Structure 1
Amino acid sequence: MREFSGPLKWLCWCWAAAAAAVHLYFGGFGFPEPIQMRGFHLLIFTPLLFLLYPALKSSPRHRPSVPDWLWAAASAAPHAWVMWNWMAVADRMEYVDPFTPTMMVLGITCIVTLLEAIRRAVEPGLAWMVAGSLAYMQWGYLIPGIFNARPFTPAEIVEASWLVPTAGGVYGPLTGIVATTIAVFILFGSFVQGSGTGRLFSNLGAAAAGRYTGGPAKVAVVTSGLFGTMSGSSVSNVITTGAMTIPLMKRIGYRPAVAGGIESAASVGGALMPPVMGAAAFVMAEITNIPYGEIIVAAAIGAVLYYFAILAAVHFEAKKLGIAPMPLKDIPAWREVLADAHLVLPIALLVWLMTERWSGNFAAFCATVAMVAVAMLKRRTRMSWRDVIDSFANAGLTMAPLAVSIAGAGIVISALTATGMVVAFGGIIKQLAGGNLGLLLVLLALTVLVLGLGIPTTPAYIIAAAIGVPLVLELGRPLGVDALQAHLFTFYFAVIADATPPVAAAAFAAAAIAQASPTITSIHATRFGIAGFTVGFAFIYDPGIMLRGSLLDIGLATAIQVAALTLITASYAGFLLAPLGWPLRVLTAAAGMAAAFAHVLDDTTRFLMGASTLAAVAALQWAAARAATEQGEKR
């Protein structure tokens, strides 16, 4: 992103702040008609991207070029036309009423400028995916076999991509949920940062975990989890918390790539942690029509298990390397933590409103206003007018790339639906799975991870859910698998794709801070975030972790995951109570994998397998250590 100064900086800063402020107002007092709101959302954010992001590496870095201003003006025209003619757009019969030459020109302009905005500000891979979906609509009829599609005229392609707000496209339901609920939650996250709540999370993490073995790494895990659930962006989480935690981990003995891997795995998990869970969770609520409160309840144990696994891995790694706790002078006193404790009240208000089934946008509006009011209670957290404006502006700068990426994902969904590719691709996966639910889940997980190589979490989840969730529901019917289980499975793999090689946005950001190899950092991030894989499958096979069933069912499902994850993390760290030799590492890995994935066995057998192996290895090491101590005393 460009760095401006002078009047241009104030123009863009005020532009982003005003755009965010309007979204906050709508969140509290009601939104315009859907097509109006979606048009306004893209009108106010898309042109800003052409000013902030250069087209090429050789483009000016401190000012927009003349072509950038022309791109910005062109990108505004289609959305301004839709806002001005919103009644006609809302009332027209799709594919029946004439698609006029004016509409054709504006639609092409919208698609071209959207592709360029995505290429500049989001990911070139997503831009290529959108362009590929349009190309498939144009020439898919030439492809033989299962991928053959009916011919589409250019007018049909542009209309489906641009002006069919009921099914997908630029102004589809996905853009609607971003322009309403998600936008207001991004604002809340921005005010969380601006109010000093980030300091509260950092101090809480240090006070809670800093005194223990590998303290700085555990602080990174706790802080990133607390912060990430509010920010909703793994990369911004890495940049914000990693700037503090990664150098500290390196200083006490962690290798740079390991420090970066710990931070990126912890930062990625923020999107899995209630109460916010990032943008994709709100899209899930929209797609499934399941109240958001039910989603965060179902996801709670899984998120705790994810962070339990990272903390266990960090602990074993620190024990093996002999890494000491944080120096006492660097650990804040609890009175320092409690000095900011009042900032938890807006978060508690948000959770309460969501569980009481208030709309997400109104809950986030109330929590944002409450954050400003509560911060005023003490001088150290009081927000000045500059802090408030900065929070609005930062929220706007976060919303803008998300706006175009979701609009692009809407075009892909429209193309997949119109051409029947959802059915075709789903048929291929189903055929490869051969009616086996387990194999289908593996193929779907790989599909989501591949999608995550080049596009952000939310579009990857949306596209994969459109393709795979119906198949999971079909093959999972005998097990009683429902929509929430299938969507949480897909969501988990879309999230952890940000940390898995070969292209991992969060791990690459952490590697830059750690000055380590991006690929090696992403490999370490994958092993520290191993719970993302086991918990993802547990949503399907062990619904007790979603707080379903009896207390025994919930406890047993959770205990299975705890035992399995402890064994797996101990195995790859090579340490439990003492260093593990290769025979014991293989044994613990095999037992952990069996407990996590051997779903052909009943739950009691899987738990006993994991727990007994863990107890046996621990007892063996304890006995060996005691024998060595007694031998030493005799000498």
Structure 2
Amino acid sequence: MRDLAVPLKLALTLWMAAAAAIHLYFGGFGFPEPITMRGFHLLVFVPPLFLLYPARRASPRHRPSLFDWLWAAAAAAPHAWVMANWDVVSDRMEYVDPFTPGMVVLSILAIATLLEATRRAVEVGLAWMVIASLAYMQWGHLLPGVLNSRAFTPEEILEASWLVPTAGGVYGPLTGIVATTIAVFIIFGAFMQGSGTGRLFGNLGAAIAGRYTGGPAKVAVITSGLFGSMSGSSVSNVITTGAITIPLMKRIGYRPAVAGGIETAASVGGALMPPVMGAAAFVMAEITNIAYAEILVAAAIGAVLYYFAILVAVHVEAKKEGMAPMPAADIPPWREVAQDAHLVIPIAVLVWLMADRWSGNFAAFCATLAMVGIAVLRRRTRMGWREVLESLAQAGRTMAPLAVSIAGAGIVVSALTATGMVVALGGIIKDIAAGSFPLLLVLLAVAVLVLGMGLPTTPSYIIAAAIGVPQILDLGSQALGLPPQALLLPAHLFIFYFAVLADASPPVAAAAFAAAAIGKASPLVTSLHATRLGIAGFTVGFAFLYDPGIMMRGSPGAILLATAIQVVALTAICAAYAGFLLRPMGLVARLLLAAAGLFAAFYHGVPDLLRLAVGAAVLLLLAGLPLLAARRAGRPRTVTGGKTPGPP
């Protein structure tokens, strides 16, 4: 991002703040016509990206060039036209009414500027995926076999990508959910940061875990989980909290790559943690037509297990290396934590309103106003007009890249749907699986991880869900004996978890690369550590489909059993990798413990009680034998006559 001169920087700050404020107002008092709102959303957020982000490394760093201004003007034109002609767009019959030459020009401008903005501000990989989707629509009819599609005219391609708001494309439902609910939650997250809630989370994590073994790493886990739930971006989470926690972890003895891996795993997991869960959860609610509150309930245990596994891994690693807690001087007293405790009230307001089934945007609107009002109670959290302005501007700067990435994902989804590629790719994976539901899930997990290499979590989830969910519903209903509707939410959560983990998985892991830069470590090694620390994402992802208790479905006994299996399995796997369970373990014990953990987590061909029993028995055996041996070794030896030898 450019470091702009003061006049333009101030102007863009005011622009972004005003755009966010209007979104917030709409969230509380109602949105205009969908096409008008989507056009406005892209109009206010796409053009500034050309002024904020340089085109090349050699571009001016403190001012936009003439070409940047031209790009910004070109980006504004199609969205301004849509806003001015919303009734024409809403009333026209798609693929029936003429797609005029003027519409052709505007659609080309819209797609070209979105691609360039995505390249500059998001990921070049997403821009190339959009280009590949458009190319497939143009030439897919020349390909053989299952890849063959019908022929499209250039006008049909442009119309499908730009002006079919009911099905997809630039103004499709995905842009709609970002312009409404997600935008207001991003504003709420910005106000949480501006009021000092981030400080509250950091101090709370340090006060809870700082005085224990491996304290800085545990602080990183707790803080990143709390902060990540509101930030919506794993990379920004790493940069914000990792700048403090990674150096602390290195100082007490963690290797740089391990410290970076801990921060990465904890940061990407923020998207799994209720009550916000980042942008993708709102998209999930839109796609599935399942209430957001129901998604939060279903995801709650899995999110806790994810962080439980990281804490276990951190603890055994610290015990093995004999690491010290945080220095006492760095641990805030509880009275300092209590000085910010009132900031949890707006979060409680958010959760209460959503649990009471108010719309997400209205709940976030009320919580944002509550944040400003509650922050006034103490001087250290009070938000003046400067803090309010900066929070709004920060929300706008966060929304702008998300706006173009979601619009680009909408083009991809539109192309996949129009060409039938969704069915073709799903058919290829299904054919390879050959009727095996477990193999299908493994293939889909790998496909989502690969797809997420160059994409942010939300578009990665959107595209992968379009391909994978129908296959899970089809084959899963046969394998598990459940109706497709019962598998809808588990299938989407399965895809969502692996889309989140892609940010931490090698070879391309944006969050791990950011952590590696802070820790001065190898990005590849850092991502490998992040992947093994995030092992719960893999086990819980599969459990959503095989163990419904993990989603709080079924009796209390079923819920406890599913949770206990995961606790035992994750403890065993983490301890086996570290080679430490109360004390160091040899290779044979580690292999046995790992096998028991993997059996409990993934082998669904036996009764659940047997999985739990095997995992728990091996875990207790390997934990108890060394204690028993140590106790025997510490007993005084007996001699003839039953007397014990005295001191020499």
User: The TM-score by the shorter chain falls in which range?
Assistant: over 0.9
What is the aligned-residue identity percentage?
75
Is 1:505 aligned to 2:486, yes or no? no
1:573-628 CA-partner distances (Å, limit 9, x unpaired): 11011011110110011100010000001100000011111100000121233344
What letter matches 1:59 in structure 2? S
Give, in whole Å, the separation in 2 of the partners of 1:390 and 1:588: 51
1:546 has 2:551 as partner: yes
- Aligned-partner residue type, residue 247 of structure 2: P
One-letter amino acid matched to 1:8: L
Q: Distance in 1 between matches of 2:350 and 2:126?
A: 33
The alignment status of 1:35 with 2:35, answered yes or no, reads: yes
For the residue of structure 1 that corresponds to 2:584, the secondary structure is coil
Q: Which position in structure 2 is the counterpart of 1:189?
A: 189
Q: 2:590 aligns with which of 585, 590, 603?
A: 585
2:345 aligns with: 345
Amino acid at match of 1:622: L
Partner of 1:476, secondary structure, is helix
What one-letter code is carried by the residue in structure 2 that aligns with 1:464? A
Matches of 1:555 and 1:207 in 2, distance apart?
Answer: 29
Distance in 2, Cα, partners of 1:467 & 1:32: 32
The AA in structure 2 aligned to 1:561 is Q
1:115 aligned residue: 115
Aligned: 1:4 with 2:9: no
- Match of 1:520? 525
Q: How far apart in 1 are the matches of 2:631 and 2:225?
A: 38
CA distance in structure 1 between the partners assigned to 2:626 and 2:32 by the alignment? 66
Instruction: Output the CA distance in 1 between the equivalents of 2:516 and 2:546.
Output: 35
Q: 1:120 corresponds to which letter in structure 2?
A: R
SS in 1 for 2:2: coil
| Cα distance per residue 1:91-122 (max 9 Å; x no partner) | 00000000000000000111011100000000
Quote the residue 1:168 is aligned against. Answer: 168
**Which residue is 2:154 aligned to?**
154
CA distance in 1, matches of 2:10, 2:143: 51
- Cα displacement (A) at 1:13: 1.1
| Structure 1 match to 2:361 | 361
Structure 1 equivalent of residue 315 of structure 2: 315
For residues 12 and 519 of structure 2, the distance between their equivalents in structure 1, rounded to whole angstroms, comes to 31
Q: What CA distance in whole angstroms lies between the structure 1 residues aligned with 2:138 and 2:185?
A: 38
In 1: Cα distance, 2:293 partner to 2:119 partner:
35
Shift of 1:216: 0.6
- The secondary structure found in structure 2 opposite 1:560 is helix
**1:555 is aligned to 2:568:** no
Q: Give a deviation string over 1:477-502, Cα, whole Å, max 9, x none.
A: 14225110000000000001100000
Partner of 2:67: 67
- The amino acid across from 2:324 in the alignment is A
Partner Cα distance (1:67, 1:404) in 2 = 19
How far does the alpha carbon of each residue in 1:11-35 deviate from its partner, in whole angstroms, 9 at most, with x for none? 1111111111110011011111000
**Partner residue of 2:498?**
493
Shift of 1:5: 2.5
Within 5 Å, give how 1:399-414 maps onto structure 2.
Answer: 399-414=399-414
Paired AA for residue 474 in structure 1: D
Q: Which has the larger radius of gyration?
A: 2
How far residue 339 of structure 1 moved from its aligned partner, in angstroms, is 1.1
1:607 equivalent in alignment to 2:612:
yes
Matches within 5 A, 1:165-314: 165-314=165-314
Report runs of 4+ in structure 1 exceeding 6 Å deviation.
631-635
2:467 maps to amino acid: I
TM-score by length of 2: 0.97
Q: Provide the rounded CA distance (Å) in 2 between the counterparts of 1:627 and 1:237.
A: 49
Q: How many residues align?
A: 635
Instruction: Report the AA paired with residue 82 of structure 1.
Output: V
- 1:405 aligned partner, one-letter code: S
Distance (whole Å) between structure 2 residues aligned to residue 550 and residue 293 of structure 1: 20
| Pairwise CA distance, 1:455 | 0.7
Q: Distance in 2 between matches of 1:212 and 1:628?
A: 29
How far has the Cα of 1:88 moved from its partner? 0.4
Separation in 2, partners of 1:625, 1:219: 32
Amino acid at match of 2:457: T
Q: Secondary structure at the match of 2:249?
A: helix
Task: Give the letter aligned to residue 570 of structure 2.
Answer: L
Q: Aligned AA for 1:139? A: W
Q: Which moved more, 1:472-481 or 1:155-164?
A: 472-481
Matches within 5 A, 1:37-52: 37-52=37-52
Deviations 1:159-209 (A, max 9, x none): 000000000000000000000000000000000000001111001000111
Give yes or no for the alignment of 1:105 onto 2:105: yes
Displacement of 1:631 after TM fit? 7.6
Are residues 1:571 and 2:579 paired?
Answer: no
Map Cα deviations across residues 138-176 of structure 1 (whole Å, 9 max, x no partner): 000110111001110000000000000000000000000
1:344-380: CA deviations, max 9, x gaps? 0000000000111100000000000000000001111
2:537 equivalent in structure 1: 532
Counterpart residue type for residue 496 of structure 1: L
* CA RMSD in angstroms, aligned pairs only: 1.1
Aligned amino acid, residue 473 of structure 1: L
Alpha-carbon distance, 1:475 to partner? 1.1
Q: Distance in 2 between matches of 1:626 and 1:399?
A: 60
Residue 375 of structure 2 corresponds to which residue in structure 1? 375
Tell me how far apart the structure 1 counterparts of residues 72 and 208 of structure 2 sit (CA, whole Å): 48
List alignment gaps of at least 5 residues for structure 2.
638-643
The equivalent of 2:143 in structure 1 is: 143
**Secondary structure of residue in 2 paired with 1:179:** helix
Task: Specify the alignment match of 1:472 in structure 2.
Answer: 472
5+ long unaligned stretches in structure 1? none
Are 2:636 and 1:619 aligned?
no
Q: CA offsets, 1:318-340, max 9 Å, x none?
A: 00010011122211111111111
CA distance in 2, matches of 1:163, 1:274: 35
549 and 102 in structure 1: CA distance in 2 versus 1, 3 angstrom threshold: same
Task: Determine helix, strand or coil for the equivalent of 1:486.
Answer: helix
1:630 is displaced (CA, Å) by 4.2
CA distance in 1, matches of 2:61, 2:81: 31
Q: Partner of 1:131: helix, strand, or coil?
A: helix
Q: In 1, Cα distance between the equivalents of 2:47 and 2:506? A: 33
Question: Equivalent residue for 2:640?
Answer: none
The amino acid of 1:521's aligned partner reads: T
In structure 2, what is the Cα distance between the partners aligned to 1:355 and 1:629?
Answer: 56
Partner of 1:482, secondary structure, is: helix
Residue number in structure 1 paired with 2:436: 436
Letter in 2 for 1:21: A
